[in-house]
Amino acid sequence: MPTDDRTPAEGRGSSEGRSGRRAAQRYRRLTIVVVASLALLGGVLGAANTLQGPRLSSGEINGQGAVGRPGQRLVLHANQPIAHVDASQVTVTPSIPFTATTSGSDLTLTLNGMLDYETDYAVTVAAKSLYSGAAASLDYSFTTPDIPIYTLIRDTGSVAGDEPDRVVRASLSDDAPAEDVFTAPRIQEYAVSGSRLAAIVLDDQNKTSLVVRDLSTGVDTKVATVAATGAMRYLKSSGASGLFGFTVTGESAPDGSTSPTTLYVYDPASEGVTARQVKGFDGAQLPAVAWTFVQGTTSAVIQDYDQQLFLIDVTTDSVPSPLGRHAEVHGFIPGTAQLVVSDLEDFTRIDLQAAKTETFDSLTAQADPSYYPGKRLYLDGQGRFVQEFDVPDAQHQYSTSVLMLIDESGTRQIFRPDEGTRIRNICLSPNGRVAAVETFAEDKQNDKYPNVPSYVPMTTSFVDLSSLETTKSVDGWMPDWCQ
């Protein structure tokens, strides 16, 4: 009978080999099925994701910049490429003008103006997927920062007064009490730039000196001037560039002549403690009857005795650039390098950035003819402005004042102090959206300070130019915005 020549061990090995091969085949088939399933699932999920429409991944905006400078950007990042977004598909609340740009999965809104302080903003975008056309809403919200406000509170004006003069700091939106940030027996004026405060102080002989305090450390620096002993006045700060400037009055010579009032500038970031005199052509003295910084820069506009305006970089020995002769300077439109000046009823806008001068079509106030017009401040390039008016009483005495807003809607009263109280001065916040109004009452006391006298007591109120409401009133005057 036939026989099997294989040994028992050889038979078992062959059986086990066939089983191993079958297991490997089953594993390969399972792997293929799993991979195919995962690929199909990924495709389904990818398709579902696309069909859902874009979603917001994140958003970013420089809040501090948005309340201080126009042209800031809000960038929204979606989770997939989006179709072109027109400005009409975007809603910003509260409303602010903007332009929209789409690039891949990003939408950029460039803000044409500056935002309000301490305000909640909501952005809604009606977006679509670039590939599927699926629609979805991109929603983003943010809150702008608050801004500190500073005022000067003087004592009775007496050299031997019981209390020192104080510069105090509060918040525009917060109700927390004000805190002292600088004190001295007598403070003539002050200015703030970032974390530094400069103050012109008076001694018991009415001699002026300049002190700069680092608000973060409390360290004071006394600033010197070379060969200048006249009275310091018109202290201002340059904002972001961190400079302080002031004028020194001319001195009388033995022959009866008087040297011109000139501008000095101090840079706290420099190693020295001496202010630099700003000179004119060929190093000659440049008279400065009035002056102002171009905010955020190292340049200033100076008006001389002949009403001639000059633009000059105050940190170099550059040659002044003439800007023409003008009778009145109304200041810069907030957030711009556009200076508004006037001659009688003719208004001119000097754009320093574009090096262009053009007629400025200002709106016209329609106030009561008996009201006496005072200081005006422009809000934008469309000719909107706020203006103070003195109001006569029955005896034709100007015993009170009002603040008017002049815009496309007409002329509206937005602030009127109590009867017997008058407006001393007005100025605008850096973003041009809040007006600071200094007031004093009939029973005020003259503080008898030399150079920059005022009254005791004084109050400063803040008017929101969007809501037209008075949002806050604090003790003191000379808000740092006015400097």
- 414, 307: one domain: no
- The CA-based angle 189-190-193, given to 5 degrees, is 160
Tokens of 354: 């574009």
Give the H or E element holding residue 100: strand 98-103
Q: Which pLDDT score is estimated for 141?
A: 97
- 282, 205: one domain: yes
Distance CA 274, CA 267 (A): 9
Residue type, 89: Q
Least Cα distance to 205 among 229, 225, 181, 189 occurs for 229
Q: Where are the beta strands (DSSP E) in 229-360?
A: 232-237, 244-248, 262-266, 274-277, 290-293, 299-303, 308-313, 321-325, 328-332, 338-343, 346-351, 356-359
Q: Which pLDDT score is estimated for 15?
A: 54
- 192, 315: one domain: yes
Q: What is the CA radius of gyration of the chain?
A: 34
Sequence-distant (≥ 6) Cβ neighbours of residue 198 within 8 angstroms:
190, 191, 192, 210, 211, 212, 213, 223, 235, 237, 244, 266
Tokens of 199: 């103050």
Domain of residue 120, CATH code:
2.60.40.1220
Least Cα distance to 411 among 431, 437, 385, 433 occurs for 385
Least Cα distance to 466 among 107, 133, 144 occurs for 144
> Hey, how many other C-beta atoms are within 10 angstroms of the C-beta on 398?
15
Least Cα distance to 411 among 455, 362, 464, 346 occurs for 362
- 335, 440: one domain: no
Which residues form the domain of 302?
Answer: 186-325
Backbone angles phi, psi at 22, to 5 degrees: -65, -40
- 379, 352: one domain: no
- 102, 218: one domain: no
- 339, 283: one domain: no
Give the H or E element holding residue 411: strand 410-415
| Domain presence at residue 282 | yes
| Domain presence at residue 469 | yes
- 373, 433: one domain: yes
Domain of residue 270, CATH code:
2.120.10.30
Q: What are the b/e assignments for 256-279, b being 16+ CB within 10 Å?
A: eeeebbbbbbbbbeeeeeebbbbb
Of 272, 302, 325, which residue sits at a domain end?
A: 325
Q: Which pLDDT score is estimated for 25?
A: 63
Residue 149 buriedness (CB in 10 A; 0-12 / 13-18 / 19+): buried
Q: Which pLDDT score is estimated for 240?
A: 86
- 386, 289: one domain: no
- 388, 257: one domain: no
Beta carbons of 403 and 385 less than 8 angstroms apart: no
| Domain presence at residue 379 | yes
Q: Which pLDDT score is estimated for 1?
A: 46
Q: Which residues of the chain have pLDDT under 50?
A: 1-4, 6-13, 44, 157-160
CA 364 to chain centre: 27
Q: Which pLDDT score is estimated for 468?
A: 95
- 67, 132: one domain: yes
Backbone angles phi, psi at 382, to 5 degrees: -90, 5
Instruction: Give the distance between the most distant pair of CA atoms in the chain.
Output: 153
Q: Which pLDDT score is estimated for 22?
A: 63
- 138, 249: one domain: no
The residue length of the chain stands at 483
- The residue assigned the tokens 């874009």 is 54
Q: Which pLDDT score is estimated for 8?
A: 47
Total domains present in the chain: 4
Strands 290-293 and 274-277: unpaired
| Domain presence at residue 153 | no
| Domain presence at residue 294 | yes
Tokens of 413: 């009263």
Of 119, 143, 167, which residue sits at a domain end?
A: 143
Distance CA 344, CA 367 (A): 18
Mapped onto helix, strand or coil, the DSSP state of residue 362 is coil
| Domain presence at residue 208 | yes
Least Cα distance to 250 among 298, 306, 305 occurs for 305
| Domain presence at residue 229 | yes
Beta carbons of 19 and 101 less than 8 angstroms apart: no
| Domain presence at residue 148 | no
Torsion-angle region of residue 133: left (phi > 0), alpha (psi -120 to 50) or beta?
Answer: left
CA atoms within 13 A on the CB side of 432: 21
Of 143, 172, 194, which residue sits at a domain end?
A: 143
